[in-house]
Copies of this chain bind each other. A is one copy, B any other.
Amino acid sequence: MILNRLHSELERLSKSERRLAEVILADPQAVITASTAELARRASVSDPTVSRLCKSLGISGFPDFKVQLAQDLARNPSQVNPVISDGDDTRTCIDKLINANQAALEHLRNALQSDQVDMAVEALNRATRIEIFGMGASAAIAQDAQHKLFRLGTPACAYEDNLKQRMVAAAADSDSLILFISFTGETRATLEVARIARESGAFVLGITAPGSPLAQLCDITLTSGNALEDTTVYIPMATRIVILSVIDLLCTRLALRRQPQINDTLQKIKRSLHATRVRDSS
């Protein structure tokens, strides 16, 4: 999302460039039909400033900028200011929230690397036992993951309690896979458990912030959507949706991977999940 980047980099920009950015943010729709000169005039800056701003965003030039912006606007039609403010009525809140969540998913689309996903699925497939660790807000997600994974044939269990996590991590072996769910990947307690997990020889899979201390300890890391934090559209919920979607993807791939012989595997998944939904009432 170009507009998000513009907003989050407002600080970084110089006076004229910021003025320009503000004009763009104020009415993005108008930009896609404008020329360099028009836009420059509207922001009371010179033409080259427009080019420069594009360059500083890593875009080759203004025409390209327009095209990218057009695409973004098409995806998020109601690009209202994504930050919820006090005076917003309920309808506005609904729209902003949904926009933010959709944007989060769009972010995920780009952030996910299919080879990483493949490797994670391969590891999940090999494991004879799957342990899932999530604390605080991630505990609910871990529980959700357990629900999905253990239906796919491998014993899976979620642990919220740090002490239990330690014990489970210590008891794990190379047949185990331990899935860490941690938004920031910086919690001390979680890091210690991860170290224990490594020593035990288990495969360590992280859904966390790439580059974080926790990620360093993982065999494979998939994004927790932490990059969304820098974004104006950041809403705590958004990252949860990102993590849930990642887990969903892993389960879907694993299911496909495990039953390649049956042509319409997905029907099976669907049916099984459908049954789930009805029987135990989701």
Residues of A within 8 A of B (CB): 32-33, 63-64, 66-68, 70-75, 83-86, 88-91, 93-95, 97-98, 101-102, 105-106, 108-109, 112, 114-115, 117-118, 135-141, 143-144, 147, 182-184, 186-187, 189-190, 235-237, 239-241, 244-245, 248-249, 252-253, 256, 260, 262-266, 270, 273-274, 276-282
Which residues of chain B come closer than 8 Å to A114, judged between CB atoms?
89-91, 94
Of B83, B112, B189, B282, the contact of A281 (CB 8 Å cutoff): B189
Of B95, B136, B281, the contact of A187 (CB 8 Å cutoff): B281
Known: A73-B71, A75-B74. A280 touches B94 (CB 8 A): no
Mostly, the A contact residues are helix
Closest 5 CB pairs of A and B: A136-B280, A187-B281, A74-B74, A90-B114, A137-B282
Tell whether, in the assembled complex, residue A245 and residue B249 are in contact, meaning their CB atoms are under 8 Å apart.
no
* A to B CB contacts below 8 Å, 21 in the list: A32-B67, A66-B67, A67-B70, A84-B256, A86-B262, A86-B263, A86-B264, A91-B114, A94-B249, A95-B109, A136-B279, A136-B282, A138-B281, A139-B143, A140-B140, A183-B282, A184-B282, A186-B278, A189-B281, A236-B270, A241-B245
